[in-house]
Amino acid sequence: MDFRLSDNHSIVEAWIIFKNGSKKELKEKADRRGGKSRCLFFDEIPSEEFTIQFRLDFSATDEKRDPILDADISKNGKKYRKSKSLWHHTSKTVEDGIFQYKWKPNIEELKISEIAFLFQSKHDQTISGAARIIKG
């Protein structure tokens, strides 16, 4: 992975850790035009007739410049839009001193009441500099 945050700063690995300790690697995908997406994607999560696709969106950040968690839901293969404003975007929160994302869809038909996880990543940053030595 070489997910560019800027010209000299990249995420080289990214994963989420659920409350039960299991880890899932996040992936890059192409955007709709075939270029580099500004999102890191989770594997789809099936739940009976629903499918949930999460992604961390680095083009839409919160006031602390953290990525927003986007959720897209399909029901029986069709986009689910009911009360979308309540579950589509989630910001990172702090609970007991730990930064985490906690998604609460509040969708009665969906058997999932909450998904909480930590986001971790390894970065590569290039720092350029110049020095001039002056004899004293």
Q: Is residue 75 part of a domain?
A: yes
pLDDT over threshold 70, residue 80: yes
- What phi-psi label fits residue 49: left (phi over 0), alpha (psi between -120 and 50 degrees) or beta? alpha
Q: Is residue 133 part of a domain?
A: no
d(CA 70, CA 114): 14
Asked whether residue 32 carries a pLDDT value surpassing 90, the answer given is no
Mean pLDDT, the chain, integer? 84
At residue 1 the predicted structure's pLDDT band, cuts being 50, 70 and 90, is low
Answer whether residue 135 is part of any domain: no
- The predicted-structure confidence for 35-52, as pLDDT tens digits, reads as follows 888 889 989 988 888 899
78 band by pLDDT with thresholds 50, 70 and 90? very high
20 domain residue, yes or no: yes
Give the pLDDT band (50/70/90) at residue 122.
confident
By residue range, what is the domain housing residue 71?
3-125
Tell me the two tokens of residue 58: 């680095």
> 118 has which bridge partners?
17
DSSP string, 30-93: B-TTSSB-SEEEPPPEEETTEEEEEEEEEEEE-TTSPEEEEEEEEETTEE--TTHHHHSEE--E
Q: For residue 131, tell me if it sits in a domain.
A: no
Which residues, in sequence order, are CB contacts of 74 under 8 Å at separation 6+? Answer: 50, 51, 53, 80
Is residue 122 within a helix (H) or strand (E), and if so which, with residue range? strand 115-125
Residue 55 in domain: yes
Average the pLDDT over 112-121 and give the result. Answer: 80
Task: Flag whether 118 is in a domain.
Answer: yes
The pLDDT value given to residue 74: 92
At 16-26, the pLDDT tens digits run 888 888 888 88
**What's the domain count of the chain?**
1
Using CA atoms, how far apart are residues 105 and 21, in angstroms rounded to an integer?
22
132 within domain boundaries = no
